[in-house]
Amino acid sequence: MLPDQELLVPDSKREELELICDMERGEAPSFVIPYSIEKHHSEFARPNVVYKSVWCDGQLIVFFILVWSEMLETSSFAE
């Protein structure tokens, strides 16, 4: 990435789940256990799960999944 390139990190859209699956099946399997598209749809629908897509120059370059934990809600980090 060049210094003048902007990274965008919006919440992922449901229609991006196919791209995410493709990404997992590409180079990622060496360090990621890929989900099926059905599993991604199931996780995406959970209220405590947020998918984030990282875009650079109109291309999806990485994604991550955040899971809000009940343990975190009761910890001092949530204050």
Beta partners for residue 52, in sequence order: 11, 64
pTM of the model as a whole: 0.75
pLDDT band with cut points at 50, 70 and 90 for residue 24: confident
From CA 22, how far away is CA 44, in angstroms rounded?
16
| Separation CA 42–CA 27 (nearest Å) | 24
Supply the pLDDT for residue 28: 63
Q: Name 35's Cβ contacts closer than 8 Å, sequence gap at least 6.
A: 21, 24, 43
Pick 25 or 76 by higher pLDDT: 25
| pLDDT, tens digit (0-9, with 9 covering 90-100), for 32-75 | 788 999 999 999 999 999 999 999 999 999 999 999 887 655 55
Residues in the chain: 79
Mapping DSSP to helix (H, G, I), strand (E, B) and coil, where does residue 34 land? coil
